[in-house]
Amino acid sequence: MRIWQERLPDVPLDLVAVSAAEAEDALRRGDADAGLVRLPVDRPYFSAIPLYTETTVVVVPKDHVIAAVDEVTAADLADEVVFHPLDDTLAWENPPGRPGFERPATTADAIELVAANVGLLIVPQSLARLHHRRDLTYRTVTDVPQSQVALAWPEERTTDRVEDFIGIVRGRTVNSTRGRKPAEEPKARRAPASGAGAGASQRRGGGGGKQQAGKPARRGGGGVSQGARRGKPRRRS
């Protein structure tokens, strides 16, 4: 946001918060031009630039035994009730732990159950921070799926402003010609039309051919640079 405002102060940039499950639909409807989404996305429809992979953590009450260590494995959670909400962003083949009595509708609902000491929750680290509570903490889980975050946008709506945003997200400098609308090329300057040599150098002699503009005339062959001639050399008898 800061870089956008510095480079394009006259173009407003609005941030729209949606859930991970709603992100693709919002882009399809045109509610947003581009979005930070969790992979995978519908690649035939969307273009996507992977940005980073998030650490996966388990959310536990602060007085839980897991809070005493820095990281755990899936096997360490085998005897724990682990919730997998309906909006889970991790691709599970074999979810760790024992299933809860029901699947919470949302991650926020699952956080409430963890706070009530009913079970635990495994999420990307950013979601653990988003739903932070004083009575909860989280620890890294080392051998479970991770969530990859990408910048995505509909391929058919790749506008100049979307290219500007892509360039900023990818860290391109203001002088880069990619990711922003290129500046207008300066017009070529014309040489002053003084005498027969304006715009191109001419050769003396019978050839009368023109030399390419902007290149110095050759020595020894009678060439002269652009501009008027200062007089013809006298011939020696």
26/127 Cα distance (integer angstroms): 20
pLDDT above 70: residue 193: no
Q: Which pLDDT band holds residue 93 (cuts at 50, 70, 90)? A: confident
Q: Which stretch, 92-106, 119-133, 168-182, has highest mean pLDDT? A: 119-133
72/77 Cα distance (integer angstroms): 8
User: DSSP string covering 85-135, please?
Assistant: -TT--S--SS--SEEPSS--SSHHHHHHHHHTTS-EEEEEHHHHHHT--TT
Closest to 74 (Cα-Cα) out of 51, 54, 90, 52 = 90
pLDDT (tens digit per residue) in 49-63: 999 999 999 999 999
Closest to 161 (Cα-Cα) out of 142, 147, 180 = 180
85/19 Cα distance (integer angstroms): 13
Return the structure tokens found at 8: 């394009």
Cβ proximity of 140 and 56 under 8 Å: yes
Parallel, antiparallel, or unpaired: how do β-strands 46-53 and 148-154 relate?
A: antiparallel
Identify the structural domains of the chain with CATH numbers, from first to last.
2-52+149-169 (3.40.190.10), 56-141 (3.40.190.10)
Predicted pLDDT of residue 192: 37
Predicted pLDDT of residue 24: 92
* Average pLDDT over all residues of the chain: 80
Q: Which conformational region is residue 100 in: left (phi greater than 0), alpha (psi within -120 to 50 degrees), or beta?
A: beta
- Global pTM reads 0.67
Q: Which conformational region is residue 214 in: left (phi greater than 0), alpha (psi within -120 to 50 degrees), or beta?
A: left
Predicted pLDDT of residue 96: 94
14/22 Cα distance (integer angstroms): 17
pLDDT (tens digit per residue) in 135-181: 999 999 999 999 999 999 999 999 999 999 999 998 888 777 554 44
